[in-house]
Structure 1
Amino acid sequence: MMSIIFVSVPVLDVALSTTFYERLGFVKNDDFSNENVSSMVWDENLTVMVQSHDHLKNFIDGKTIVDPKTSVTNIIAVGLDSKDEVIEIGRRALENGGNSFRTDENMPEEFMYSAIIEDIDGNPLKLVWMAV
């Protein structure tokens, strides 16, 4: 069975965040997007749902949306094909108003290379390449 993961992230400006994710290489699925949410497809297994706070509140049963710049509830890791791809997407995150930092500095680079990128709102996504 193939799993498909949909990750919902709260953002302050859906249009600006949509552009950020497009510049990382995600593709907007217009069938599931409007002014309140953008369905940003990485591949057939991962979609990031970029959602306004008001839209996301429809799915969280009265819970509070935390500020991802100061709080973390989870980090989703995405496997990539190469160390260079991790570096390139991290570079694009930085160039487009996000953040990127290494998370495995004590691991020999020939075995694993990873970075956490944050979108412009601070939502984290871990990029990982591992020698298999």
Structure 2
Amino acid sequence: MSKMIFVNLPVADLPASMAFYAALGFENNPHFTDDTAACMVWSESIHVMLLTHDKWRSFTQRPIPPATASEVMLALSLDSREDVDAMNDTAAAQGGTADINPVQDLGFMYNRNLADPDGHVWEAFWMDPSAIPDE
């Protein structure tokens, strides 16, 4: 089996979170989705498990961070600067927050950070490795 990552995120409103991630381009895997959890697929190797708070607590008793906290920043590579802008705009239109950090434009790399409705932080970025300046 190839290596995969499953990012588990506690969410307050599972249907709303599913709609948010679907709007960003994730696809739902119904085999791992029920009333307590949803598997949202970014690629063959990257999956986001959206878990109700009760489901989350069946895995750990550690507290769920408030939406204003940052536990991690997850980065997703996109095909173009325009795709980065579109993801950020879509996030804001779907109940998330756009540009929670300053936009970064290094020429060879461009990124914008967004938060989902529960405050989970995502970095949408585009990079052209061939344009990285020599040091």
How high is the TM-score relative to the length of structure 1? 0.89
2:98·2:115 contact (CA, 8 Å) conserved in 1?
yes
Greater gyration radius: 2
Q: Report the identity percentage.
A: 33
- Per-residue deviation, 1:107: 3.7
Report the structure, 1 or 2, having the larger strand content: 1
| 1:64 aligned residue | 63
Partner residue in 1 for 2:120 = 123
Contact 2:103-2:112 within 8 A present in 1 as well: no
**SS of aligned partner of 2:17:** helix
Write the distance in 1 (CA, Å) between the matches of 2:62 and 2:100: 31
Gapped regions of structure 2 (runs ≥ 5): 130-135
Aligned positions, number: 129
Change (3 A) 1:98 1:2: same
Q: Is the CA contact (8 Å cut-off) linking 1:24 and 1:89 kept in structure 2?
A: yes
Structure 1 residues not aligned, in runs of 5+: none
Q: In 2, are the aligned partners of 1:29 and 1:38 still within 8 Å (CA)?
A: yes
Give the TM-score taking structure 2 as reference length.
Answer: 0.87
The 5 A counterparts of 1:21-100 are 21-60=21-60, 62-67=61-66, 69-100=67-98
Task: Report the 3-state secondary structure (helix = DSSP H, G, I; strand = E; otherwise coil) of the residue aligned with 1:43.
Answer: coil
Amino acid in structure 2 at the alignment position of 1:119? D
Separation in 2, partners of 1:126, 1:42: 14
RMSD: 1.7
